[in-house]
Amino acid sequence: MKLFDTHAHYTDNAFNTDRSELLERLLPAAGVAAAVTAGVDVESARASAALAEKYDYIYAAAGLHPEDCAGAGEAELEEIRRLCRHPKVVAVGEIGLDYYWAENPPKEFQQEIFRRQLALAREEGLPVIVHDREAHGDSLAIVKEFPEAAGVFHCFSGSPEMAQELIKRGWYLGFDGPITYKNAKRAPEVVAVTPLDRIVVETDAPYLSPVPNRGKRNDSRNLPYIVEKLAEWKGVTPEEMAEITYENGLRLFPKIRDCEAF
Ligand code: NI
């Protein structure tokens, strides 16, 4: 199986003890042929680009996450723009809105930083990776302000209706470990209305491990559990689903094909 993990955080401290072994040996041995490691602030975006320089199959995204954008201003946005011009930074992300945690920056501030980064992605010609937690209405309304914006709604948790609205506008939907949980009721309905060519698979490592590894640190070796669940729902083989989602990932992040390492 050739796998593409379109969303992970390999700069996270959770990987400090064994990052090299995992990225050099374990993931390639498990068929992970491509992975995008996403920044959540300036420091992790820089570190993500550095990881991408070190490993051929690793690509990076640079962005300010809604949970980590407190105090961000022109200097941070300019640094994200500079990183976007790095040959292996293939998307602006992860960006968006998170209304789940009370201690997050105020909604209005999150929205401003989200809009600024959507504009930046448009100017730099890159797709975006959107984080939308408990903020479906506002996330959809804001991306509609940028009709030419393209990218993925990561770990999609909206309704089938919202999925259809995004698909119509050219977006991809990312599916993660939670689709394997027993209480995943909406996911099968969302997947049912999502065409095969708009599905990508993600781990969000080190978070969101799928069953049977729920609760443990996640990494891209767990992708087959997500691929198998999607394959079951879509009536294709896991091998076909892996191939389809790999190709979808390359279409979602067109800059990858320009990379020397590809
Ligand atoms: Ni993430």
pLDDT at position 260: 81
CA of 181 to the centre of ligand 1 (A): 18
CA of 174 to the centre of ligand 1 (A): 11
88-102: average pLDDT = 97
CB 199 within 8 A of CB 172: yes
pLDDT at position 227: 98
Specify the pTM: 0.97
CA of 64 to the centre of ligand 1 (A): 11
66-76: average pLDDT = 95
102-117: average pLDDT = 97
CA of 222 to the centre of ligand 1 (A): 15
Dump pLDDT digits (tens) for 181-204: 999 999 999 999 999 999 999 999
pLDDT at position 113: 98
Burial 150-177 (b: 16+ CB within 10 A, else e): bbbbbbbbbeeebbeebbeeebbbbbbb
Say whether pLDDT at 262 is over 90. Answer: no
pLDDT at position 92: 98
Torsion of CA 39, 42, 111, 73, to 10 degrees: -170
Return the number of other C-beta atoms located less than 10 Å from residue 237's C-beta.
13
81-109: average pLDDT = 97
CA of 215 to the centre of ligand 1 (A): 16
83-110: average pLDDT = 97
8-18: average pLDDT = 98
> Rounded mean pLDDT of the chain?
97
238-253: average pLDDT = 98
CA of 8 to the centre of ligand 1 (A): 6
Q: Rounded to whole angstroms, how far apart are CA atoms 236 and 245? A: 12
Say whether pLDDT at 224 is over 90. Answer: yes
Say whether pLDDT at 21 is over 90. Answer: yes
pLDDT-derived band at 1, boundaries 50, 70, 90: confident
29-47: average pLDDT = 98
CA of 173 to the centre of ligand 1 (A): 14
Dump pLDDT digits (tens) for 132-187: 999 999 999 999 999 999 999 999 999 999 999 999 999 999 999 999 999 999 99
95-106: average pLDDT = 95
CA of 61 to the centre of ligand 1 (A): 11
CA of 70 to the centre of ligand 1 (A): 17
pLDDT at position 261: 78
pLDDT at position 190: 98
Q: Rounded to whole angstroms, how far apart are CA atoms 231 and 56? A: 28
CA of 94 to the centre of ligand 1 (A): 6
Say whether pLDDT at 6 is over 90. Answer: yes
Phi, psi angle pair for 164, to nearest 5°? -65, -40
